[in-house]
Amino acid sequence: MTLKNKKILITGGTGSLGHALTSRLLKMGVETVRIYSRNENKQVQMDSEFKDSRLRFFVGDVRDLQRLTRALEDVDIVFHAAALKHVPVVEYNPFEAIKTNVLGSQNVIDASLMNNVEVALCIGTDKAVSPLNTYGATKLLMEKLFATAHNYLNKQRHKTKFLAVRYGNVLGSSGSIVPKIISQIMANQKITITDPTMTRFNITMNHALDFIFRVLEKGDSGEIFVPQLKAYQLSDMRDVLLDLLKSDNKTQLIPVRTGEKYHESLINQDELRYTYDDGEDYVVTQKLDNLKKRGFKKATLKKEYSSDNVELYSKDELKKILIKEKLIPIK
């Protein structure tokens, strides 16, 4: 799918993914990128940062169907990234999370149908897999809504293709392990880790963007896509950051946080029967039509696709990735 001259809308577009996605889209020659979010201050900052006449800013909440429907007029593609995402905040405010993450996602679907957009793609998370916390449960429902929205399509009236992508925390994103350890090292504090043997999938922002655009090309409505990734052990990431920043900070073990898993899962055991593989990505779907024509075969995964069941990065590999992504500050 060529994106040149397309009109794009990103919900939650002032976040880290929205920034990176906007930058990539503008380079691809889109006609317009509409940023839809609640935070006017972040919109002003983003406008000042990009200084591009193709950017449009809409103050609004995904909870507001009327406003969202107006913002989606004449839009070709919607990237749905808006969500309440901080696990402890969502645990304390579950009603609000349902309004934004679940009902807001339904509004995106309804508004997309009303405006007959070409593609509506939602950004999922590993926490939706066998969810252990409220945030994961709301994101699971978001996935389910997008994966089943095509059941309500009248092909003679609607052309919208609904897709979902699912991956873990982006390396270096706000609140993730790398900036947390870096800030502790820079402040000469103890490095706090729940368990050194914990593992996490590794995906960089550029890798995540490449994955999202691949899904736009290969996806058929009602599918959930998962990238094929390697992982790392927390103790290895800690050691690499200490080495790169030439520090010898001590480590302090802390209790497991509410809703935290020791290993990330991107496809659980029960989903394996519906999982297919094209050598680059997995797709979880019960729609079997056109899979073979698109190069997908039944996945050979024997265990759940978890960060403790895949190849781990070596310390040297992690070091190269951190340097390439420019995540190491000058001390």
- Report the CATH fold assignment for 7-168+203-229+265-310: Rossmann fold (3.40.50)
Q: What does the alpha-carbon distance between residue 131 and residue 83 come to, in Å, rounded to a whole number? A: 16
pLDDT of residue 82: 98
pLDDT of residue 256: 85
122: tokens are 């939602």
64: tokens are 């507001």
Pairing mode, strands 161-165 and 119-123:
parallel
pLDDT of residue 287: 87
pLDDT of residue 330: 67
3-state secondary structure the chain: CCCCCCEEEEECCCCHHHHHHHHHHHHCCCCEEEEEECCHHHHHHHHHHHCCCCEEEEECCCCCHHHHHHHCCCCCEEEECCCCCCHHHHHHCHHHHHHHHHHHHHHHHHHHHHHCCCEEEEECCHHHCCCCCHHHHHHHHHHHHHHHHHHHCCCCCCCCEEEEECCCCECCCCCCHHHHHHHHHHCCCCEEECCCCCEEECECHHHHHHHHHHHHHHCCCCEEEEECCCEEEHHHHHHHHHHHCCCCCCEEECCCCCCCCCECEEECHHHHHHEEECCCEEEECCCCCCCCCCCCEECCCCCCEECCCCCECCHHHHHHHHHHCCCCCCC
pLDDT of residue 154: 62
Phi, psi at residue 294, to the nearest 5°? -90, 10
Q: Is 7 an annotated catalytic residue?
A: no
Q: Which residues contact 195 (CB under 8 A, 6 or more apart)?
A: 234, 253, 256, 262
- Indicate which residue of 6, 7, 127, 319 is catalytic: 127
pLDDT of residue 220: 93
Indicate if the alpha-carbon torsion angle 167, 173, 178, 184 is positive or negative.
Answer: negative
Q: Are the C-beta atoms of 131 and 166 separated by less than 8 Å? A: no
Residues of the chain scoring pLDDT < 70 = 153-156, 330-331
Task: Give the pTM.
Answer: 0.95
212: tokens are 């999202």
List the domain boundaries for the chain: 7-168+203-229+265-310
pLDDT of residue 1: 77
Neighbour tally for 196: CB within 10 Å? 14
80: tokens are 């749905």
97: tokens are 């999370």
36: tokens are 């839809």
